[in-house]
Chain A
Amino acid sequence: MPSYLLIESRDPFESRGFGQRCELAAALATDGAAVTLFLVENGVLAARSAAAVRELDRLGRSGVSVLADEFALRERGIAVAELAGHVKAARLDELVKQLGTGAKAIWN
């Protein structure tokens, strides 16, 4: 089964591309791939439950794993308790681990 690692650095409220990448992630998962969306930098602003980013909610239902860089969360004062239910805080080690297992990676 192919695996994909989509790394999203953009603020979902300033980039229409964020939603497009979520669509891509969902489409890949629907095709049977293992997909991880890894939020870094301002991308983690989408991870807050209060942000109510609908694209992320759909990813949760699509089986896409959504991770948020814990360092970027701390930089922005976002506590783990504030994260949407299907988003998990993660270290960059997890990103490296997926690269090491051959996930096709795209950085946005």
Chain B
Amino acid sequence: MTPTKSLTFLLMDAPYEQARTATAFRVIDAALRSGFGVRVFAYEGAVSLPVTQQKPHANAIHGRSLEEEAHPTPHVWVSSLMQLASERGVPFDWVNCGLCVDERGATEVVAGVRRGSPGDFWKMASETDNTLVIPTR
């Protein structure tokens, strides 16, 4: 049996700030749908992506209700990627940088997110077929 190919992604941007976050999630989604295992190392502000306290909101300016606004929350995206990986039978691993978590108090995260260190990123990059760093500016 051919071992699953896998890719590592390093994310750095905090949620709700940059288009890069949405693009990164789209790339990871495409990788999972193409059958790749995925490993994500979240660094700096990106450790807040899986924080479960994010809440959707209505849009009073445009008169839209909570349901109509359907405001996206990145922690749901993270959970969705985990679910997709499970359905596809490919490995998915998300590691939050521990120091970055402590700095931001980003401790309440979706189930399955692990705490780690930049050393984990080195291991991921060493063990997977390729790595894409999506840097902040």
Contact = CB atoms under 8 A, between A and B. Distances in A.
A-B interaction: yes
Interface of A: 7, 9, 40-42, 69, 71-72, 91-93, 95-97, 99-100, 102-103, 105, 107
Contact of B30 (A41, A42, A72, A95): A95
B132 A105 contact: yes
B27 A95 contact: yes
Given A9-B19, A96-B7, A91 B132 contact: no
Interface of B: 5, 7, 19-20, 23, 26-27, 30-31, 33-34, 36, 129-135
Contacts, number: 49
A41 B130 contact: no
A103 B131 CA distance: 10
A41 B129 contact: no
A103 B31 CA distance: 15
Contact of B130 (A9, A42, A71, A105): A105
A92 B20 contact: no
A93 B23 contact: no
Contacts of B36: 96, 100
Nearest to B22: A41
14 contacts: A9-B19, A9-B20, A72-B23, A92-B26, A92-B30, A93-B33, A96-B27, A99-B7, A99-B132, A100-B7, A103-B130, A105-B131, A105-B132, A107-B132
Contact of B129 (A7, A71, A91, A102): A102
